[in-house]
Amino acid sequence: MNRTFIGLGSIFGFLSVALGAFGAHALKASLTPDMLANYQTGVQYQMMHSLGLIAIGLASSVLPSSGHLRRAGWAMAVGIIVFSGSLYILSVTGVKALGAITPIGGVAFLFGWLSLALAAWQKAK
C-alpha cells in the first residue's frame, strides 16, 4: 500500500507541476482571469493532495495497517481526479455544468483527511 500511494502522489505531483506551467504559459492569454484562477485552484489542490498521498504512503510504514489509511489514500486520489480535473476542464471548455461535480471531489478530500486522522488515532491490534 505504501508504494502505491507514494507512486500515485508522485505522478499527481509531476502532473501538477506540468499543468501549472501549462496554465501559466499556454493558457494565460486565452483564459479570462476568473477561469485562470479556477485552473490555478485545481493545480494548488492537486499539489497539496499529491503531498497528502505521499504522506499516507509514508505513514503506512509506521501506523498499524487499517482500512482508514487505505480509504484516505483512495479518497485523496479520487478527489484529485474529480475536484482538480473538473476545474481544469471547466476552465478550458467553459462548460458550467462541470462545476456541479467539483464539490464531490472536495468531499472526497475531506473524507481523505478525516480517514487519515482516524488511522493515526487507531490503536494497534
pTM score over 0.85: yes
CA distance linking residue 56 with residue 49, whole number of Å: 10
Q: Which three cell numbers stand for residue 35?
A: 477561469
What pLDDT, in 10s, does the model give residues 6-31?
999 999 999 999 999 999 999 988 99
pLDDT at residue 65 in the model: 74
Query: Contact, 78 vs 34, CB < 8 A?
Result: no
Query: Contact, 76 vs 11, CB < 8 A?
Result: no
CA distance linking residue 34 with residue 69, whole number of Å: 36
pLDDT at residue 62 in the model: 87
The number of angstroms, rounded, from the C-alpha of 75 to the middle of its chain's C-alpha atoms is 9
What pLDDT, in 10s, does the model give residues 82-108?
999 999 999 999 898 888 999 999 999
> Phi and psi at residue 113, in whole multiples of 5°?
-65, -40
